[in-house]
Amino acid sequence: MTPELRRVVQEMIDVLTLENQSLTALDFPGATRLLGRKNAAAAELQRQGLPSVVAAEAQQVARTLPRCGGRQPDPAGARACRTGPGDRRGGAGGARVGRSGPLRRPWRPRGGPGVPCVRAQRPRLERRPPLVLRRGMTQFFFVARAPGGTSVGGDAFIAGLAGGLASNGHQVAFGPWDAAPNGAAVVIDGLDMPNLDPHAAGLERAVGLVQHTTALAAVDDKERVRAIERVVLPQLRRVVTSSGAVAERMKTEFGMAADRIAIVTPGAPDVPRTAGSAGAGLGGTCAILSVGALVPRKGHDVLLRALARLQDLQWTLTIAGSADRDPATAAALAEQASQSGIADRVRFAGALADTALADAWSQADLFALATHWEGYGTAVAEALRRGLPVAVTSGGGAAELMSAATGIVSPPGDAEGFSKGLRRLIFDTALRDSIAEASYRTGQALPDWADQARRFADIAGAS
């Protein structure tokens, strides 16, 4: 048995012996309860797929628990154990009697036949959470910018994953490549990959975290970024992607083998259900929210064209996303809204801090994103979690979470089709309410960050 597995078993033994308190202070029911916990622990070991030798040793430890105990001689002559011929515990000669006759083994109190005894004082047992055995904690070092400010898109992925790893007991740190400590599991954020030296030593031990190829998100210098990705990605030990759509691009564009690619979808945030504009005292108008930086890939121009066809309906649009990454596109979108005659209904809110963004979510009636390509629909997942109807395009992994019951899905760039779907959702409030219920049920079934962090740790932490 390896030292690590032996440590796991010893940890289990320590828990079940109540931090090494004596088991002889427990009566038979108490020992039975501990035996049940021991069996549950052995089953947990088997469920986690640890070698059978661990489960065997767990069962061996379980068999050492006392079958009966806790009876001490009472020198003061307290209540005597009943061992006489008429005792239900004892028959002739002290033999214990079962339903079908004497049992093979006579029963004897701890102090011997006829010795008065009392039940020993037991320590009060605190209720413990179910035993969860881990294979060991890992130090994860992310070659990435520490998340902060706003948790949107790539920042939300890194922040959620780091938080999930920390909540599961792992150590998490952020910094540049040359600051990675020895022995840490190094994870390279795909968005920081263009800053790496593609010939740096040790890349073969690192794991890449790719939400979408950085060249796809780059505003300038796409070819230089793609050239770096083509050198760095094949060198990495594993690449963890956010969706099947990204995994497919890893194979087709970068020639990576399928067995070196793993998929860990982002966890759904722990957020409350939205109250909507009516709950905020703003009823009568459908409040539409879109979340994403003002860059061409997000397709905000398609959304504006779709809504410009619906000026006969009552709606407002808030776009929460940074204008700093592509000022030219941000200016073009503002001009488009003005030229379409909908500037008074559209609010470009910029990059909102978490509190302000949460307020925008809570007052929304509908989420819309006309993206051309997404690695994973992080904002779509949050919309479903909050119980919002969703209007989205099928670019990349944006619509992987969608069904006919949770909203509408249109092809990327199809402003006319998107407009028709939006008309139904804006006009028919009963339909919108029904879809909101289905969205909420779907969102609540999504895995959270703790679940996804465990999966990520199994993949990225194994060398």
What are the extents of the domains in the chain? 1-69, 139-267+449-460, 276-444
Name the more confident of 230 and 425: 425
Q: What is the pLDDT of residue 44?
A: 56
Whose tokens are 């033994």? That residue is 13
State which CATH number among 3.30.70.20, 3.40.50.2300, 3.40.50.2000, 2.120.10.30 fits the domain covering 276-444: 3.40.50.2000
Ranges of H-type helices in 242-376: 244-254, 276-279, 300-308, 327-339, 354-362
Q: What is the pLDDT of residue 384?
A: 97
> With 90 as the cut, is the pLDDT of residue 186 above it?
yes
327 to each of 108, 299, 331, how far by Cα in Å?
88, 15, 6
For residue 414, the number of C-alpha atoms closer than 13 Å in the C-beta half-sphere is 15
Q: Furthest-apart CA pair in the chain: how many Å?
A: 104
What's the pLDDT band for 253 if we cut at 50, 70, 90? confident
- What pLDDT, in 10s, does the model give residues 353-382? 989 999 999 999 999 999 999 988 889 999
75-79 average pLDDT score: 42
What's the pLDDT band for 12 if we cut at 50, 70, 90? low
Percent of the chain with pLDDT over 90: 46
Amino acid at residue number 58: A
Q: What are the tokens at 68?
A: 């009966």
State which CATH number among 3.20.20.140, 3.40.50.2000, 3.40.720.10, 3.40.30.10 fits the domain covering 139-267+449-460: 3.40.50.2000
Q: What sign does the CA torsion over 150, 153, 156, 162 have?
A: negative
- What pLDDT, in 10s, does the model give residues 207-249? 999 987 665 555 467 788 888 888 899 899 999 999 998 999 8
Domains 139-267+449-460 and 276-444 share a fold: yes
- What pLDDT, in 10s, does the model give residues 257-305? 999 999 999 999 899 999 998 755 456 799 999 999 999 999 999 999 9
Greatest mean pLDDT range, 91-105, 182-196, 413-427: 413-427
Q: What sign does the CA torsion over 146, 299, 247, 447 have?
A: positive
Q: What is the DSSP letter of 286?
A: E
* Strand stretches in 131-216, DSSP E: 139-143, 171-175, 185-189, 207-210
What's the pLDDT band for 21 if we cut at 50, 70, 90? very low
What's the pLDDT band for 145 if we cut at 50, 70, 90? confident
Give this prediction's pTM: 0.66
